[in-house]
A and B are shown apart, each in its own frame.
Chain A
Amino acid sequence: MTKQISNHIEFLDAMADAIDIPTKLHEKAIDRYNSIGEYFQRPTSGIFDRDPVTYPQGSFLLGTVIRPVGDADEFDLDIVCQVQGSDNELTQEELKQLVGIEVNDYASANGIAKSPKDGRRCWTIEYSKSEKFHMDILPALPNAHRYREFLIEKGHVGLGADVELTENALAITDKEHENYASITNDWLISNPRGYAAWFRQQQSAEFDRRKSLLVEDRQFASVDEVPDYRVKTPLQRAIQLLKRHRDTMYGDDPDKPISIIITTLSAQAYSGEQNIGDALRTILTDMDKHIADEGSVRYVRNPVNPEENFADKWEEFPAREKEFHRWLKAAQTDFSHYFRRPYDSVPSDLVERLTQNTFDKVSPLMALASPTVVSPKEVASKEVDYITEHGGNSKPWQG
């Protein structure tokens, strides 16, 4: 980061960049899940015959991962371990343990001191502190056929027929499921790659445009060579800033707005804006319009499974709905006020929300821009010159 900052957009881009996962750490995370994937695929692996595939899910896959607020805190790297099989020959418990054996072996073989944790749905590998992240591994079976049937049965015919959004649907394990230890076909369903495909569709034009710019800039020889994680669209950056704003406003408060709601509503509101300022304006103005009301129940539907309501806890915990709206109001106020002030006069409320530490990393770049002292009359004259040249200012009248 050496580029000077001379306007609001550049400042917010730099802030988003500073809270993003560093490229080196991102590449290290990719190495880690590739490494575990290769381990699962070795011929002596207990799941070798089941053709295991690992891939990231969640914010790593969406490109919206952010650094934890505290420097000592770790990144969450969520990955899926998908094995071939069917719920009529495996119980959820058996799948969890099959993958668990390999996860434990991997940890031992790689000198990871702490034993992997057997969580509700995932196995968690905690690397040493210096690695700065831990990995949640979600055991899963492919489930596209049943997922499509389910969507069609529920009346979502178009979505059920959409190959791109449904072909990677999964059946996942859950220790609290009543049939965890029995052969049943009522496993929980999940579709992280389908969601990521939907998310990508929301920003595809801008994503492709930015890839082309990297090629034009000679950073890559062709668009196909640009890794997705090297491109950050205004939607991704806006979500990163909003998540950081949320994190500092709430800490570990269980009533804080959850990332999947912020991400889904932002992607629904986004309409292809080409810079982060316009994207934040559209998102913060319109995101709550995508919350559906049905009687007293609010819905933030999973776009690739409308039967799933990301806001399902709001009914049981009304404080969560209230806090979502309180957070949104605060984000609207903080970002909007920044745009009403000179770009290098960042309101203290926004600095606090995005953290002083991050601001301190970025603010020296604002000082690089050569200061120009312009009198108020000169500023007004520039307005007049622009209006004279471009027109479009309506004229006052006296009727």
Chain B
Amino acid sequence: MARLAKLTIEEIRDEVLSLIAFDQPDLNIIELSDDKVEISGRLFVMPKSPENQPLGALDQFEVRIVIPIGFPAIEPLVFETGGRIERELDYHVNPNGSCCYSVWPAWLADAKDQSISEVVSGPIMDFFRWQYVRLNGIDAATAIGERQHYISGLLDAYAEVLDCSPTQKSVSSHLKVLRRKWLRSRWRCPCGSRKKIGVCCETNLRKIKGRVSPEIAEIMQEKLNSQSR
């Protein structure tokens, strides 16, 4: 099972340079220090629909993105700086402009490639595509979907990754098993059946463990703890 990369600040900078070389040509590095790389400029929102691709970018937003040392275990902070999105919780933007673009640990578990280019073309682009749809008069929350605020949205996202019910008890039981290095067939199954894993969900759990390493399970648990407080 692949461990999360431990990138140096130079490696983070190189990934950012790859991003702005072609995919996002109007973003620029504005600060490079020992603990972060900060970029800002225009973020182009590209279409997902092949039918829309001849149109080029759907929209563009002024943004500032802070990638901390510790990425990808620690998520990048994204700020919408152009003032086009109302600073409202319902639009997933905090009063300081920071954007709640995804449940980070859930993305970490699902992503095939945890590079900066993938984060920007994945959840960050998805967030701004959601805003673009909304700004064009469509109820994005209904049409595309959104997570409920706080712990219930977090549990929903985790439940999808862990293939379990979105309750704190079920999610915690699964994370407890997944935080261990090995999966033992004799352990009690986290699904709540009171059976041993070996005669219950072993196949499915091993599949999930292939994506959710102990390290990611730990990050998921920490986020759950912070939301539970």
- Footprint of B on A, CB under 8 Å? 6-8, 280-281, 284-286, 332-333, 335-337, 339-343, 345, 376-377, 379-388, 390, 392-399
A398 and B147 contact, CB distance less than 8 A:
yes
Q: List 25 A-B contacts (CB under 8 A).
A: A6-B54, A7-B54, A8-B56, A285-B22, A332-B21, A336-B21, A339-B56, A340-B25, A341-B57, A382-B49, A383-B52, A383-B58, A384-B133, A385-B49, A386-B50, A387-B129, A393-B129, A394-B122, A396-B92, A396-B127, A397-B92, A397-B100, A397-B149, A399-B223, A399-B227
**Which residue of A is nearest B226, CB measured?**
A399
| Distance A7 CA – B53 CA, assembled complex (angstroms) | 8
A383 and B129 contact, CB distance less than 8 A:
yes
| Distance A382 CA – B50 CA, assembled complex (angstroms) | 10
Interface membership of chain B positions 24-68, coded 1 if the CB is closer than 8 angstroms to chain A and 0 otherwise: 010000000000000000001011111111111110100000000
B136 and A382 contact, CB distance less than 8 A:
no
- Footprint of A on B, CB under 8 Å? 18, 21-23, 25, 44, 46-58, 60, 89, 92, 99-103, 107, 122-123, 126-127, 129-130, 132-133, 136-138, 140, 143-147, 149-150, 153-154, 157, 223, 227
| Distance A387 CA – B132 CA, assembled complex (angstroms) | 13
Main secondary structure of the interface of A (DSSP, over half): helix
**Which residue of A is nearest B21, CB measured?**
A285
Residues of A within 8 A of B25 (CB): 332-333, 336-337, 340
| Distance A224 CA – B52 CA, assembled complex (angstroms) | 39
CB distance from B178 to the nearest CB of A (A): 21
CB distance from A261 to the nearest CB of B (A): 17
B132 and A380 contact, CB distance less than 8 A:
yes
B22 and A284 contact, CB distance less than 8 A:
yes
B53, B55, B137: most-surrounded residue (chain A CB, <10 A):
B55
A397 and B48 contact, CB distance less than 8 A:
no
CB distance from A4 to the nearest CB of B (A): 12
B102 and A384 contact, CB distance less than 8 A:
no
CB distance from A15 to the nearest CB of B (A): 16
CB distance from B155 to the nearest CB of A (A): 11
B54 and A343 contact, CB distance less than 8 A:
yes
A332 and B22 contact, CB distance less than 8 A:
yes
**Given the contacts A281-B23, A341-B57, A393 and B132 also touching, CB distance less than 8 Å:** no
Residues of B within 8 A of A393 (CB): 48, 126, 129-130, 144-145
Residue in B21, B56, B107 whose beta carbon sits within 8 Å of that of A341 in the complex: B56
CB distance from A342 to the nearest CB of B (A): 5
Residues of A within 8 A of B145 (CB): 393, 395
A399 and B150 contact, CB distance less than 8 A:
yes
A384 and B144 contact, CB distance less than 8 A:
yes
**Which residue of A is nearest B94, CB measured?**
A398
Residue in B23, B50, B89, B154 whose beta carbon sits within 8 Å of that of A336 in the complex: B23
**Which residue of B is nearest A335, CB measured?**
B22
**Given the contacts A284-B22, A342-B54, A379-B55, A397 and B129 also touching, CB distance less than 8 Å:** no
**Which residue of A is nearest B154, CB measured?**
A399
Closest 5 CB pairs of A and B: A386-B49, A397-B147, A380-B136, A396-B92, A336-B25
B58 and A394 contact, CB distance less than 8 A:
no
| Distance A384 CA – B227 CA, assembled complex (angstroms) | 31
CB distance from A332 to the nearest CB of B (A): 5
B144 and A397 contact, CB distance less than 8 A:
no
A382 and B147 contact, CB distance less than 8 A:
no
A6, A343, A379, A397: most-surrounded residue (chain B CB, <10 A):
A397
Residue in A342, A377, A394, A395 whose beta carbon sits within 8 Å of that of B56 in the complex: A342
Residues of A within 8 A of B149 (CB): 397-399
With A340-B25, A399-B154 known, 11 other A-B pairs at CB within 8 A are A332-B21, A336-B25, A340-B56, A341-B56, A379-B52, A379-B58, A394-B102, A397-B101, A397-B153, A398-B92, A399-B103
Residues of B within 8 A of A380 (CB): 58, 132-133, 136-138
Residues of B within 8 A of A399 (CB): 100, 103, 149-150, 153-154, 223, 227
